[in-house]
Structure 1
Amino acid sequence: MTGAGTDAGTATSENGAGTDWQAWQDSWDRQQEWYMPDREERFRVMLDMVEALAGTAPRVLDLACGTGSITDRLLKRFPEAVSTGVDLDPALLTIARGHFAGDPRATFVTADLKDPEWVTRLPYASYDAVLTATALHWLHSGPLTTLYGQLVPLLRTGGVFMNADHMIDESTPRINAAERAHRHAVMERARGAGALDWADWWALAAQDPALAEPTARRYEIYGEHADGDAPSAEWHARTLLEAGFAEARPVWRSPSDALVLALK
C-alpha cells in the first residue's frame, strides 16, 4: 500500500465527509489477514454456530468490535440480525461508525471493558449472542475472568458466547516453536510483497484527516499495543464454566488459535 488514498480511505474534510470507509474496512481486513490467513474460516464457523443456536435474526453484541468486522459479516449473512458493537478504540470506532452510517441494524458504543459499569452503556438488556475475535488477548487473565462473569446475565437462557483468539497450549513447546517459525516465514514473504503490518497500518491511519485525531487518542489509551495474556482454549472453557455457563468447549482450532463457544 503506497498511501491512504490508494489502499484505504481518502478524506476530504476533518469530519470524514468524502472518506471511503469501505476502503478503510477492507484495508483493516487485509492487515489482519496478514497475521491470520484463516481469519475468514473462523468467522464462518462462528456464524454457523450463531445460526445453529440463535437462529437467523439474532440480537448480537460484537464485543471489542474494532472496525465492526464481525458485524459486517453478521449482517451480510443474516439481514434480519441487529448488532451492538462496543469498543474503546476511537479510531477503529470512527471507521465502524462511518462504514455502517445509515444502517439502523448496527449501533456502536464507546466503553472500556475493564470498567465495571460498561454494560450500562448498552442499548439492550439482553442478547442472543455475544461474539468477539482477536481482541480479548489484550486483557490479562484476571480482568478477562471478571468480564466472562459479566457476560452471563447479558445473555438470554440458551444464548451463546464465542471468543476466537490466540490461545496457546504451553504443553507442546516444540510444536509451538515450529508453527510460529513457519507462520512468520510466510508472513515475511508476504511483507516483502507489500503486505502491511500493524505499525504500517496505523501510520497510514494517522495521515488521514478523518482518522488523525482519533488515532492520536487511541495511542494515548493503549500505547503501541496492550499487554495481555493468551491462555489455552481449555483455560477459557474452564473459566467460562466457572463463570456460570452451562457448556463450553472449542469448536474450531488452528495450530495457534481457537474458537471457544459457551452456552448459557
Structure 2
Amino acid sequence: MTDTADTTEAAGTTDWQAWQDSWDRQQEWYMPDREERFRVMLDMVEALVGPAPRVLDLACGTGSITDRVLRRFPEATSTGVDLDPALLTIAEGHFAGDGRVTFVTADLKDPNWRAALPHDRYDAILTATALHWLHSEDLAVLYGQLAPLLAPGGVFMNADHMPDPATPRIGAAERAHRHAGMDRAKAAGAVDWREWWDLAGADPALTEHVKRRFEIYGEHADGDTPSEAWHAEALRAAGFAEARTVWRSPSDALVLGLK
C-alpha cells in the first residue's frame, strides 16, 4: 500500500490540469461531439437562468461541466457531487483555491444524499455521460429528488446515451461509423477508457483512489439507456413543468427539464 506521506507529497506535485485535460481527450475519443453538447447546455443555462447561475454539477467526475461553466460564466458558482474518489481527487486538485467551487462526496442512490449539499436551491442542475450508470427505476427516483432542489424557473439538463429503439438500422450504421473513427484515433495514439484508468492507477497521487474507485463501481456500468422520450416523460412525472430534447446526435441526446 502507498504510504500516506508519499501520497500527499505526490499529490502536491501532480499536474491536475493535465489529468483533467487527459480525461477530456479520453471522453472525446468516444464522443467527438462532446463540446457541442456542452455548448448547447450552457446556451440553455444562459437563456433560462442567466449568466451568474448557482450550479449543481451532478455526478461531476473531474469537473468537466464546472470547468466550462466557470470559463463562460465567471460569476457562477458550482457544487460538484460524485462518489468516485479518483475523479473527485482530480477535480479538487484542479479547482484548488477557487472559492466558487465546492465538492461533495455522496452516493446518488442514498436517499439522503441531498443532505450533504451546501445549498437547498440551485438555478441549474447539470450532468453529462454519467446517469446511464443507474437503472431506470433508480433514475426516476433521482429525478423526483432533483425537482425540489431547483429554484422556480430553474433548469435540469442530462446529456447521455439515449438511443432510439425505433430506428435500429440507423443506430447500427452510426455505431459502425463511429467505431471506425475510434479505430483511426486509436491508431494515432488515442487512449481509451481502460487505458486511462491504468495510467491513473500508476500515478502515486491517484493509486489508492483508483483502487477504491473500482471497489465501489466495478468495471462497467450496470444501468440502462432509456430513450429521450422516457427521460422527458420521467421528468414531467417528477414535477417538471416542461421537458424536451434540446440537442441530439444519432446516439446521444440532451434532455432539459424546466421547473
Q: TM-score, normalised by structure 2?
A: 0.97
Deviation at 1:86, TM superposition (A): 0.2
Report the alpha carbon displacement of residue 13 of structure 1 after superposing the two structures with TM: 4.7
Is 1:14 aligned with 2:7?
Answer: yes
Q: C-alpha separation between the residues in 1 aligned to 2:6 and 2:57?
A: 29
Hey, what does 1:180 align to over in structure 2? 175
Q: 5 Å matches for 1:206-245?
A: 206-245=201-240
Q: Which runs of 5+ in 2 are unaligned?
A: none
SS at match of 1:125: coil
The amino acid that maps onto 2:135 is: H
In structure 2, what is the equivalent of residue 27 of structure 1?
Answer: 22
Offset, 1:225: 1.7
Structure 1 residues 141-220: aligned runs within 5 Å: 141-220=136-215
CA RMSD of aligned residues (A): 0.9
- 1: distance between equivalents of 2:22 and 2:7? 20
Alignment length, in residue pairs?
253
User: Unaligned stretches of 5+ in structure 1?
Assistant: 1-11
- Report the residue type matching 2:258 in the other structure: L
| Alignment pair present for 1:118 and 2:121 | no
How far is 1:168 from its partner?
1.0
Shift of 1:240: 0.3
- Any idea what the Cα deviations from partners look like across 1:55-102, whole Å, max 9, x if unmatched? 011000000000000000000100000000000000000000000000
Q: Distance in 1 between matches of 2:38 and 2:173?
A: 25
Match of 1:87 in 2: 82
The 1-side partners of 2:34 and 2:163 are apart by 17
- Structure 1 residue 226 displacement after superposition: 2.0
- AA partner of residue 159 (structure 1): G
1:26 CA drift (Å): 0.3
> Which amino acid in the other structure matches residue 7 of structure 2?
E
In 1, the alpha carbon distance for the partners of 2:164 and 2:6 equals 47
Deviations 1:171-208 (A, max 9, x none): 11100110011100110111111100000000000000
1:212-232 CA distance string (max 9 Å, x none) = 000000000011122111111
Q: In the alignment, which residue of structure 2 is the partner of 1:41?
A: 36
Match of 2:205, SS state, is: coil
Q: Which position in structure 2 is the counterpart of 1:107?
A: 102
The alpha-carbon deviation at position 141 of structure 1 amounts to 0.2
Identity %, equivalent residues? 77
- C-alpha separation between the residues in 2 aligned to 1:13 and 1:132? 34
